[in-house]
Structure 1
Amino acid sequence: MENVISDRGSRYAVAGGPAASPEEAKAFVKALCRNKKFARATHNTWGLLLESGPVKNDDGESGAGLVICRMLEREGLYDTVVVVTRWYGGKHLGGDRFRHVQDAVRMWLAEA
């Protein structure tokens, strides 16, 4: 897997694709988790920006979905779900975890 951010044992990866509803976003995450590597991840957080407003799921990584939504809002990127996956490495990262979520989303945006 390329474009992985590593810090103190934790690893972050990012994926994204079209989604026009919360149900489509959940289906995207479910499809992603068919890959055992993603299914075993500690967190699969995601954000989706719709005309009706942002939709997010922190999946236990409190605040990460909001970070993703804010970045999508800044880009004006609607109807696209972005998923940041974290495999916890055993050490708390504090605020650095938000920086890694932002860096992962930036990587995805640069390639999209």
Structure 2
Amino acid sequence: MLVLENIISDRGSRYAVAGGPCSGSDEAAAFLKELKRRKKFAKATHNTWACLTEDAPLKNDDGESGAGMVILRMLEREDLRNEIVVVTRWYGGKHLGGDRFRHVQEAVRQYLDAR
């Protein structure tokens, strides 16, 4: 499991990104459970994620509408299969509008560069 914390900060919101091997929904659930064992991630506002498996693409917005699809599209562009990428956001009290999608993209880019 690769975790990059405090990678983006904007108007009080903070972002992190994590990822690792994943070949299906059971492994995705296990990955999220392991990530949330870190109290900081369990208390996050959103843990959005996506995984491009051999069977089907998987994604979850976790309340951050559209963010799972942003992650999934980036994984498709990279043809990165069987690896989950989770973008975590701690809400800072101010709405970010469309900037939140830019931050999700940047978080995924940083993960891809670090792996």
Same fold at TM > 0.5: yes
Partners of 1:58 and 1:52 in 2: how far apart? 20
Aligned equivalents of 1:52, 1:66: Cα separation in 2: 17
Within-5 A mapping of 1:60-99: 60-99=63-102
Larger mean Cα displacement after TM superposition, 25-34 or 2-11: 2-11
User: What's the CA shift string for 1:2-45, capped at 9, x where partnerless?
Assistant: 45200000001000000010110111011000000000100000
- Structure 1 moving runs of 4+ over 6 Å: none
The 5 Å alignment of 1:1-112 reads: 2-112=5-115
Q: TM-score, normalization: structure 1?
A: 0.96
> 1:26-85, CA deviations, whole angstroms, 9 ceiling, x for partnerless residues?
110110000000001000000000122311010000000000000000000000000000
Q: Secondary structure of 1:4's match? A: strand
- Quick check: 1:3–1:107 contact (8 Å CA) kept in 2? no
Single out whichever of 46-55 and 87-96 deviates more from structure 2. Answer: 46-55
Identity %: 71
Distance 1:94 1:58, change over 3 A: same
Question: Could you tell me the TM-score, scaled by structure 2's length?
Answer: 0.94
Worse overlay, 43-52 or 1-10: 1-10
| Maintained 8 Å contact 1:68/1:102 | yes
- Which secondary structure state, in structure 1, belongs to the residue aligned with residue 69 of structure 2? helix
Runs of 5+ unmatched residues, structure 1: none
Letter of the structure 1 residue corresponding to residue 28 of structure 2: A
